Structure 1
């Protein structure tokens, strides 16, 4: 199990089977909050569904298609962060993330994405490009790539079906040279 430090109180820890109960609990207590922007909540009905998701992420890691991490804050699981898959031919990926409502407003996700980019995407994996997509109305999710200096590339219209309607997605990207330039210029891990 790999751990990536973020702050004295927070870290990224690779998801493992023992996390299923706590991750399900976090999903379940935040179900109404997360439902506005995440399309998969109806298929996560019990701990075994979360355990299957974690098993898929472990398999994804074994196949060199990325890694999913839990975001831990003061010893509690606060959310998750991971890649959808890796296109090794073009050295690119896209990432997704979510945070429980009770953990919002602490800068955790901005710090988590920065640490993930440092250690894995532009570090260990040596990828050229990473993208983040968020529904245009999801101001909190869009704030993460904006704080970190990602470029807004455009909007994909009716890109995702959320239960009973389609939403547009804003598409952001960061290139390896841009990220390294921002980091060497002294950008703090929080993006500020």
Structure 2
């Protein structure tokens, strides 16, 4: 009887130990699997984060590079434009200034304009000529004397303190005026010289 009790006790004990070992092994296995899953997820998230960071870094680099390139191009273009303007101004300013201060040159231009204002018309025309106030005694007196020779109509000569050089001319009714100041001449020549100067300086870029 005692032997059977001992045998039963041992059996229960062994079964308990075996069950506990199995449960412990299952717990360890589950823990291992969970740890592996956590580690795998962590690796995956780290890789995704790394790829995202690289993508953002590449985008930032490209944006900065594009901005730098664009800024550099704009700076170069601005510099080229400044150099071109300086060259054109140097080419135009002094010759134009000298020309508009040459009274004989101005006389010839005004005479040419008056003679060709309306060469096909036999009717007399009236023109209005505005000169700088400082030219009243020179150009003013000259064209007073030349009016009958140049025009079938009349020439109304006025003087303007605000006009420093050149002249303005138009119909007697002043419906419009053609301006030929030093600034007008400069702008005219600069307009045509600037593209040619740019090409000479920088080629066909």
TM-score, normalised to structure 2, is: 0.24
Q: Which has the higher Rg, Structure 1 or Structure 2? A: 2
TM-score, normalised to structure 1, is: 0.25
